A = this chain, B = another copy of it.
Amino acid sequence: MKRYDQLTKDELNNLKVDLEKEIALLKKLNLKLDMSRGKPCKEQLDLSMDLMSVLDKHSNLICKDGTDCRNYGVLGGIEEAKELLASFMENKIENILIYGNSSLNVMYTMVMQAWIFGIMGNTPWSKLDKVKFLCPVPGYDRHFAICEEFGIEMINVPMSEIGPDMDMVEKLVSEDDSIKGIWCVPKYSNPDGYTYSDDTVKRFARLKPKAKDFRIFWDNAYTVHHLYEEREKHDHIIEILGECEAVGNPDIVYKFASTSKICFPGSGIASIATSVNNIEDIKKHLKIQTIGYDKVNQLRHVHYFKNLLGIKSKMIEHAKILRPKFELVLKAFDSELSEIGLVKWTKPKGGYFISFYGMNGTAKDIVKKCAELGVKLTDAGATYPYHKDPNDSNIRIAPTYPSTEELEIALNVFTTCVKYCTVEKLLS
């Protein structure tokens, strides 16, 4: 088989006719499949049903320090939950705050507090003419949505396998004091599945931003979310807060994590790890926002996981379910798309996504064509600020939610649509 860009116009036209027939057949299947979001599947949720029974009406809901989890109070979380999250995040207990069920909400809160009240006595961002964030692209749409909501200007920074373009990051933050933050998913990144190299993390920790209130928004969403059991197949990353402390830059990072893709998404506990100075600054405002988060649920997670080992062994169970799905995608891409050329994809060892790069100018068409055939994908452009992929190339593949059977059909639809849209583009 030849690469598509080596085909003659006639060959392309013949191919198009064949593909149109295939598409007509797929259309008749009346599919309704959703590969749009990074949601765990039913089998993954079933893994954590014991969470529902670790506490019952006979349980002691009193913490080691005497706190009654049933009553009001304890802003920042119970000690036991801080211990658990600290072990999982590789941080010290004094650097941890526990929130409610959503780490996205914690990130939003950090932007909101900076916007209205300012960080550590600096001018509130709302009072500035211009606030900008750096956005490694492709990235996570919900990060970008927060910036868009606040009217924060987003600047694209290219991603590579070792992380964002650090030359560009260093230059921009050192020159422009309206740049106040950068969104990072440093491990098994969304959507590429890349993990920042040691050098990248070290350069982050050593940033010398012009803005004193510049913060790295370090969304470590997939820290233990490996696809393979063997340690040598895990990506590793330097713990950023420790690195920042070591080089005398302790306040520069807000690090986020949650248990949401470890047990039940939306019913977990979320956390920030940051310097003690930042924590004091955050709590000053947080205490006005709420009396405290759900301590019973915090205790439930502590009883369920017990320690880091409990979390890690749960992740091995998840990997057993997810690995075949990721491998199915890669296999289908390999067998159907590797020879046509013009397209590429990532091969992550963890996280929730595979990033597909179609021929420039085809991503929107592919997603639209798939939708017509009943397969819902993440919108093309969603992985870029303002939904604008400058190349119209990237599509985020989320293989976790559908069953293997559904995934197989969806991949058939997807690869057919990729071929069809590539041919169409070449003919246009």
Q: Is A223 an interface residue (CB 8 A)?
A: no
Q: Is A70 an interface residue (CB 8 A)?
A: yes
Complex contacts, A42 vs chain B, CB 8 Å: 68
The answer to whether A101 and B294 have CB atoms under 8 Å apart is yes
> Which of B100, B145, B266, B289 sits near A71, CB closer than 8 Å?
B266
**How far apart are A305's CB and chain B's nearest CB, in angstroms?**
15
Complex contacts, A39 vs chain B, CB 8 Å: 71-73
Residue of B nearest to A41 (CB): B71
A257-289: CB near B (< 8 Å → 1, else 0) gives: 000100011110000000000000000010011
Residue of B nearest to A126 (CB): B126
The answer to whether B52 and A56 have CB atoms under 8 Å apart is yes
- Main secondary structure, interface of A, reads loop
Question: Contacts A52-B57, A146-B288 given: A70-B104 contact, CB under 8 Å?
Answer: no
Q: Is A150 an interface residue (CB 8 A)?
A: yes
A4-45: CB near B (< 8 Å → 1, else 0) gives: 000000000000000000000000000000000101101001
Question: Contacts A39-B72, A266-B291, A295-B266 given: A53-B50 contact, CB under 8 Å?
Answer: no
Complex contacts, A59 vs chain B, CB 8 Å: 52
The answer to whether A290 and B108 have CB atoms under 8 Å apart is yes
CA distance A145 to B290 in the complex (A): 11
A129-153: CB near B (< 8 Å → 1, else 0) gives: 0000000000000100110011000
**How far apart are A190's CB and chain B's nearest CB, in angstroms?**
14
A42-68: CB near B (< 8 Å → 1, else 0) gives: 100100111111011111010000001
Complex contacts, A91 vs chain B, CB 8 Å: none
> Which of B57, B61, B265, B288 sits near A50, CB closer than 8 Å?
B57
The answer to whether A265 and B53 have CB atoms under 8 Å apart is no
Residue of B nearest to A49 (CB): B57
> Which of B37, B45, B291 sits near A70, CB closer than 8 Å?
B45
Question: Contacts A53-B56, A56-B53, A101-B294 given: A288-B71 contact, CB under 8 Å?
Answer: no
CA distance A52 to B108 in the complex (A): 31
The answer to whether A267 and B69 have CB atoms under 8 Å apart is yes
Q: Is A118 an interface residue (CB 8 A)?
A: no
CA distance A285 to B68 in the complex (A): 34
CA distance A290 to B297 in the complex (A): 18
Interface residues of A (CB under 8 A from B): 37, 39-40, 42, 45, 48-53, 55-59, 61, 68-73, 100-102, 104-105, 108, 112, 115-117, 126, 142, 145-146, 149-150, 260, 264-267, 285, 288-297
CA distance A112 to B293 in the complex (A): 19
Residue of B nearest to A109 (CB): B289
CA distance A58 to B51 in the complex (A): 11
Q: List 19 A-B contacts (CB under 8 A).
A: A42-B68, A48-B70, A51-B57, A52-B61, A53-B57, A70-B265, A72-B266, A104-B290, A108-B288, A112-B116, A116-B126, A117-B149, A145-B288, A149-B285, A266-B296, A267-B296, A294-B294, A294-B297, A297-B297
Question: Contacts A105-B289, A267-B297, A285-B149 given: A68-B49 contact, CB under 8 Å?
Answer: no
Complex contacts, A150 vs chain B, CB 8 Å: 116
Which are the 8 A-B pairs with shortest beta-carbon distances? A267-B296, A53-B57, A105-B290, A45-B70, A49-B57, A70-B264, A149-B288, A53-B56
CA distance A288 to B58 in the complex (A): 39
The answer to whether A266 and B285 have CB atoms under 8 Å apart is no
CA distance A285 to B105 in the complex (A): 12
Question: Contacts A102-B290, A115-B116, A288-B149 given: A264-B52 contact, CB under 8 Å?
Answer: no
Complex contacts, A266 vs chain B, CB 8 Å: 70-73, 291-296
